[in-house]
Amino acid sequence: MHNNKVIHLAAYAGKIILENGGETYRVEETIIRICDAYGLKDAESYVTPTGIMISAVDTTGNTISLIKRIKSRTVNLEKISYVNDLSRSIKQKNLSIDIVKDELNKINNLSRYGLKTTLFFSSISAGFFTLLFGGNIYDFIISFFIGMIIKYISIKLSRININEFFINVLGGAIAALIALIAVELNLANNVDKIIIGSIMLLVPGLAITNAIRDTIAGDLVSGISRALEAFLIAVAIAVGSGIILKLWVNYFGGIIR
């Protein structure tokens, strides 16, 4: 019973890290550290972005294993940091399995920033990306509102489990449509700068980074799958904005400025 609790605890910790944007090697390292802390020998873990497989030898010499499926992924580096610290303190503080499980439950249930805070800083990010790419203050204002709309819709659609590809297509389309309308009404000046700055909220920066890190670390399956995920997100953004730009050209005879 003790050994089963340990391997389930390790899988739970790995699941939290993987679901919140952690790298493959970090998940494997955490799982092995927890198994080792509670006396499971020869612990091995194999992790992909969609699954965790663990195998270990208990104190009686029997091999125990567990598979955990990962169905949702987001980005919350705070949870990753907390799980990391917790796994390192198990041996140092001699923490019991029940205490660690309670702490993992608390970490997993941590609330994110409120909706208003998230929308505000998403808007600020979109606006300043537009300035970074050469836009002016009017472009900044339009990007600010586009960023707010894109983030709000993304959050609401994610809560009802809408496919991520569709969310990114919709985000790209919204960015292009509002940018074109704003420039057409002389509320802004640069369509391209507004679109580029706004869709930066959707660009899969963490997925690209983790793909490179996993590949360099030798986790080729995870590296390739993360790279493919990032590519599909980029395709979705391009499809959404491209459709709107094409329709605008066909119906209104061109893209101004």
- HSE, CB side, 13 Å, CA atoms: give it for residue 205: 5
DSSP 62-118: -EEEEEEE-------HHHHHHHHHHHHHHHHHT--HHHHHHHHHHHHT-----HHHH
Same domain, 22 and 135: no
Same domain, 86 and 124: no
Q: From the CB of residue 163, how many other CB atoms can be counted at a distance below 10 Å?
A: 10
Task: Judge whether 62 and 48 are in contact, CB under 8 Å.
Answer: no
Decide: residue 202, CB within 10 A, 0-12 exposed, 13-18 middle, 19+ buried: buried
- Which pLDDT belongs to residue 176? 93
Q: Is residue 162 part of a domain?
A: yes
Same domain, 131 and 165: yes
Q: What is the distance between the alpha carbons of residues 77 and 58, in angstroms, rounded to a whole number?
A: 32
- Which pLDDT belongs to residue 128? 94
- Look up residue 161 and give its DSSP letter: T
- Which pLDDT belongs to residue 223? 86
Decide: residue 17, CB within 10 A, 0-12 exposed, 13-18 middle, 19+ buried: buried
Same domain, 157 and 68: no
User: Of 50, 80, 108, which residue sits at a domain end?
Assistant: 108
Same domain, 133 and 248: yes
Domain count, the chain: 2
Let me know the angle formed at the C-alpha of 72 by 159 and 84, rounded to the nearest 5 degrees.
Answer: 115
- Which pLDDT belongs to residue 255? 54
Same domain, 132 and 70: no
User: What phi, psi does 163 have (nearest 5°)?
Assistant: -55, 135
Q: What is the distance between the alpha carbons of residues 74 and 49, in angstroms, rounded to a whole number?
A: 11
Task: Judge whether 53 and 45 are in contact, CB under 8 Å.
Answer: yes
Same domain, 186 and 101: no
Maximum alpha-carbon separation in the chain: 76
Q: Is residue 241 part of a domain?
A: yes
Same domain, 208 and 180: yes
Q: Which domain holds residue 205?
A: 115-252
User: Of 76, 108, 140, which residue sits at a domain end?
Assistant: 108
User: Of 88, 108, 128, which residue sits at a domain end?
Assistant: 108
Q: Which amino acid is at 191?
A: V
Same domain, 39 and 144: no
Same domain, 92 and 202: no
Ranges in the chain, pLDDT < 70: 1, 253-257
Q: What is the distance between the alpha carbons of residues 99 and 101, in angstroms, rounded to a whole number?
A: 5
Q: Is residue 37 part of a domain?
A: yes
Return the SS3 of 253: coil
Same domain, 74 and 103: yes
Same domain, 101 and 183: no
Q: Which amino acid is at 71?
A: K
Q: Is residue 257 part of a domain?
A: no
Q: What is the distance between the alpha carbons of residues 181 and 21, in angstroms, rounded to a whole number?
A: 35
User: Which tokens hold the place of 222?
Assistant: 């995870």
Q: What is the distance between the alpha carbons of residues 41 and 167, in angstroms, rounded to a whole number?
A: 44
Task: Judge whether 197 and 136 are in contact, CB under 8 Å.
Answer: no
- Which pLDDT belongs to residue 216? 86
